[in-house]
Amino acid sequence: MQKLIAATWKMNKTIEDAINFIKDFKKLAVNVKNAEIVICPSFTSLQAVSKELKNTNIRLGAQNMHPEDSGAFTGEISPLMLKDLGCEYVILGHSERREMGENDKFINKKVIAAFKHDINPILCVGETLEQRQKGETEDVLEDQLISCLKGVSNSKGLVVAYEPVWAISRGNPNAKAATKADAEECHLFIRKLLAGIFDEETAKETRIIYGGSMKPENAKELLSMPNIEGGLVGNASLDAKSFAEIVEAVR
Ligand code: PGA
């Protein structure tokens, strides 16, 4: 299975910054064939980045979307609008959005809407430090996955991102990622859950990627694990060179 490395810039970069990044990154990652690369800029840069990515095999993703096609939802962005811009992926259920009040029920609506519009959802799940310390990691992953995938019958294109909340850098380059063993254990558990929700075949075909302080120094190690099929990279994706190094780490 081809690994997937996605950059999520969160609330960073102006349009000009975004264009400069893509120009630099294209030069650095020109020969990359071993990984599927997705860039998820902020909404304001989607159009400019989409233009820059024309005629490349780098794909465009968004960081969020509303489940409805249109309507009175001030400040929201619909799946149709993302399709319009050429988005093939959308990140859903990120812990930073869950912290702002998004719950599994709402995330589930978004996942269903993404499939309806043929946008591949990158569904984020993961436990907080407190939940891990209480030994609740598996329960949390199970609850989140089952609730967010409720009513999904055809999950083709689904990507699950295991993102332990305690490992997310929040901009701190010294933050610690999960160990490869801890991450692998959770990825394997997620795969078992997917087999229960769908079937063995689907579980095997679904890419489970890791997010939380992935950087050039640890990418190779994490990506060498059998059940880690890519990365969702925040802080270390803001710099073209460091993101290119992570992409190069895929073997
Ligand atoms: P990070 O962010 O790489 O900065 O830890 C990852 C994420 O939040 O998806």
Task: List the chain pLDDT tens, one digit each, 251 residues.
Answer: 899 999 999 999 999 999 999 999 999 987 778 899 999 999 999 999 999 999 999 999 999 999 999 999 999 999 999 999 999 999 999 999 999 999 999 999 999 999 999 999 999 999 999 999 999 999 999 999 999 999 999 899 999 999 999 999 999 999 999 999 999 999 999 999 999 999 999 999 999 999 999 999 999 999 999 999 999 999 999 999 999 999 999 97
Instruction: Report the atom number in ligand 1 closest to the C-alpha of 213.
Output: 5
What's the CA angle centered on 160, arms 96 and 64, to 5 degrees?
40
154-158-161 Cα angle (round to 5)? 150
Q: Is 187 a catalytic residue?
A: no
How much is the pLDDT for 217?
Answer: 97
Question: Packing angle between helix 137-148 and helix 180-197, nearest 10 degrees?
Answer: 40
Exactly one of 66, 94, 96, 184 is catalytic; which is it?
Answer: 94
What's the pLDDT score for residue 34? 85
Tell me how far apart the alpha carbons of residues 218 and 162 are, in angstroms, rounded to a whole number: 16
Q: Which residue has the CA at smallest separation from atom 7 of ligand 1?
A: 234
Is the CB of 137 inside a 6 Å radius of any atom of ligand 1?
Answer: no
Ligand 1 lined by 233 (C-beta under 6 Å): yes
Determine the pLDDT at residue 31. Answer: 72
Q: Are 89 and 58 in contact (CB under 8 A)?
A: no
Ligand 1 atom nearest the C-alpha of 124 is 9
CB atoms within 10 A of CB 61: 25
Q: What is the pLDDT of residue 223?
A: 97
- Work out the number of other CB atoms within 10 angstroms of the CB of residue 154: 9
For domain 3-248, which CATH number applies: 3.20.20.70, 3.30.70.890, 3.40.50.850, 3.30.70.870?
3.20.20.70
DSSP state of 178: P
What percentage of the chain reaches a pLDDT higher than 90? 96
As given in the structure block, the two tokens for residue 29 are 């990652």
Q: Which of 90, 99, 213 most suits a substitution to test ligand 1, by most atoms within 8 Å of the C-beta?
A: 213
C-alpha of residue 173 to centroid of ligand 1, in Å: 10
The candidate with the shortest Cα–Cα distance to 91, out of 187, 182, 23, 4, is 4
Using CA atoms, how far apart are residues 60 and 56, in angstroms rounded to an integer?
A: 11
Burial bucket for residue 223 (CB in 10 Å: 0-12, 13-18, 19+): buried
Count the neighbouring beta carbons within 10 Å of the beta carbon of residue 211: 28
Residues in the chain: 251
* pTM recorded for the entire structure: 0.98
Looking at residue 33, its pLDDT comes to 81
Coil, strand or helix at 237: helix
**Atom 3 of ligand 1: nearest residue by CA position:** 234
Say if residues 241 and 13 touch (Cβ distance below 8 Å).
no
Run of H or E residues at 232: strand 230-233
Find the 71 Cα to ligand 1 centroid distance in Å.
Answer: 31
Kindly state the greatest CA–CA separation across the chain.
49
Domain ranges for the chain, please list them: 3-248
The tens digit of pLDDT for each residue in 179-191 reads: 999 999 999 999 9
